[in-house]
Amino acid sequence: MPLGFLSLPAEIRDQIYHELLSSANARVPAAPNALADSYHFDLSILRTNRLIHHEAKKAFQDNIFLKITTPWPESIDHISSEGRVPIVAKGPHADSFSAFHLGIYIDTYRPYNDRGIHSMLILLDDLEAFTRMWHFSNLNHYGLNSHLKLKLVLQDPYVPDRKIPKPLQNALLLPFGLVKGLPKFSIEYPMLLPSVEEALRKEQETKDPSAEECLEKATGLKEQGNKHLHAGNYTLALESYVSAFAAIHITVKGRTRIVHADGYYIRPLVSGPNTGERGDLCRMILRVQLVANTVLAYLKQNNLEEAYFWGKRSIMLYRRSMTGDGTEEFQLNKGVKDDLQWLKVGVHHNHPFPAMAELGKIFYRTGIAARALDQKHEGDYFVRAAAVLLPNDTIVQGDKEKVEKEMEEERKAKKPPRRYW
């Protein structure tokens, strides 16, 4: 006679419950066009019978839920899209959910037109992503936090009189150290440990590094990466470049690169080596330099796919900024009188691109990767484009002449012979 589920040892049943109900296993990676991961909890096992419900419920309660409440319905989509924060639930399901360890109540400091209450649920694992997104928003929109107030309410949703242990208090509260400059901030929890609150408020009082300091730190990390690159330590070089991006509020994760806090840099710099220059322009030049070096590091690693991906991504972004064309296709000299005219306009002597040389390196290095990946026509196009941006680089100009010679030979080979009769 086959054994039933309840005949299994309790330890094995607990493992099964954990597999079915843990947040790690419920997380669904974002689709290619989606902005954030999501969660799908299959709770059907809780409806099996009373005993299994009682046992499985304990596994589900290991998940630490947080409830965010705001008066702005659009903020929920903003948190997901800008912060890449996975949302467990929103709307009525979130409004009625009470089994959360932390209530995050955001409102305006001054009276505001009543727009109702709008809630969403996230998990503790994603709290840092949420507070980091809030931090970036405050940098991007100067003074945003001066109009807001925040109340944090801790609770044990299952045993109200049970004290939340210090490690969990730290995990729930310390990420809010990034949320600075609030005119009103409070924590409600009768068993809050003073040391936890002290550490949180100390971090909130710490000033953010200035745009000048961020740019100087990123430049130092870039130079550190260049040293690793010249020494042949390509992995360390790439790690330094990722850290340099992070120093100027650009996050890199896998093949995703997200630019934050643009508004923080839109002003003249008042100190450091770039005093008097626009912060956003210096940041843009530094970004182009980092991409050029990143592509080179991948080429040195013989990681052609990544070199091609990151190089072409930047080329496409530049072309879109110049022409509005966001497609991935290039004309590749197919029936076009001058397929590089859009690029030549951008490097006119009256309107030179500030990081023209570094952009030229991106084109050239991406062209090398493309040709090695048997994408010859696109690779040839990028090499010819690099020659426009690097008119004094003898290596690039020599390769451009070879490419054009090959293209001419291909045209002659395809041209039908002239007949005489």
Crossing angle of the two packed helices 356-372 and 279-300, in degrees rounded to 10: 30
Q: Show the tokens assigned to 197.
A: 């609150």
Q: Where does the pLDDT of residue 315 fall: very low under 50, low under 70, confident under 90, or very high at 90 and above? A: very high
- Whether the pLDDT of residue 197 is over 90: the answer is yes
89 phi and psi angles, rounded to 5 deg: -160, 155
Cα distances from 293 to residues 124, 241, 253, 320, 362, in angstroms, run: 36, 8, 17, 22, 8
Residue, of 198 and 8, whose pLDDT is higher: 198
- Whether the pLDDT of residue 125 is over 60: the answer is yes
- What is the C-alpha to C-alpha distance for residues 345 and 385, in angstroms, rounded to an integer? 12
Place of tokens 């110049």: 322
- Whether the pLDDT of residue 394 is over 90: the answer is yes
- pLDDT mean over 161-165: 94
- pLDDT mean over 112-126: 83
Q: Where does the pLDDT of residue 214 fall: very low under 50, low under 70, confident under 90, or very high at 90 and above? A: very high
Among residues 108, 113, 72, which one has the least CA distance to residue 90? 72
Q: Using DSSP bridges, classify how beta strands 184-188 and 250-253 pair: parallel, antiparallel or unpaired.
A: unpaired
108 DSSP β-pair partners = 148
Q: Where does the pLDDT of residue 3 fall: very low under 50, low under 70, confident under 90, or very high at 90 and above? A: low
> Any idea which of 17-26, 178-187, 201-210, 410-419 has the lowest mean pLDDT?
410-419
- Whether the pLDDT of residue 417 is over 70: the answer is no
Indicate the DSSP class of residue 268: B
Task: Say which amino acid occupies 104.
Answer: I
- What is the C-alpha to C-alpha distance for residues 377 and 366, in angstroms, rounded to an integer? 12
- pLDDT mean over 96-101: 94
CB 255 within 8 A of CB 249: no
What pLDDT shows up at residue 326? 65
CB 197 within 8 A of CB 173: yes
What tens digit of pLDDT does each residue of 52-70 get? 999 899 999 999 999 999 9
- What is the C-alpha to C-alpha distance for residues 89 and 99, in angstroms, rounded to an integer? 13
CB 152 within 8 A of CB 173: yes
Q: Please classify residue 390 by burial: count the beta carbons closer than 10 Å to its beta carbon, then call 0-12 exposed, 13-18 middle and 19+ buried.
A: buried
What pLDDT shows up at residue 113? 57
Q: Show the tokens assigned to 347.
A: 């490097």
Residue 166 CA, chain-centre distance (Å), reads 31
259 DSSP β-pair partners = 250
Indicate the DSSP class of residue 332: T
- What is the C-alpha to C-alpha distance for residues 114 and 63, in angstroms, rounded to an integer? 33
Q: Using DSSP bridges, classify how beta strands 38-39 and 27-28 pair: parallel, antiparallel or unpaired.
A: antiparallel
Residue, of 81 and 271, whose pLDDT is higher: 271
- Whether the pLDDT of residue 395 is over 80: the answer is yes
Helix/strand/coil percentages in the chain, nearest 5: 55, 10, 35
- pLDDT mean over 92-108: 94
Count each helix (H run) and each strand (E run) in the chain, helices first.
Answer: 16, 10
- What is the C-alpha to C-alpha distance for residues 326 and 343, in angstroms, rounded to an integer? 15
What pLDDT shows up at residue 192? 97
- Whether the pLDDT of residue 238 is over 50: the answer is yes
Give the percent of the chain with pLDDT over 90: 68
- Measured from the Cβ of residue 239, the count of other Cβ atoms closer than 10 Å reads 16
- Whether the pLDDT of residue 237 is over 60: the answer is yes
What tens digit of pLDDT does each residue of 317-368 get? 988 888 777 676 665 555 444 678 878 776 655 556 678 899 999 999 999 9
Residue, of 305 and 356, whose pLDDT is higher: 305
- pLDDT mean over 285-292: 97
What pLDDT shows up at residue 322? 80
118: helix, strand or coil: strand
CB 370 within 8 A of CB 378: yes
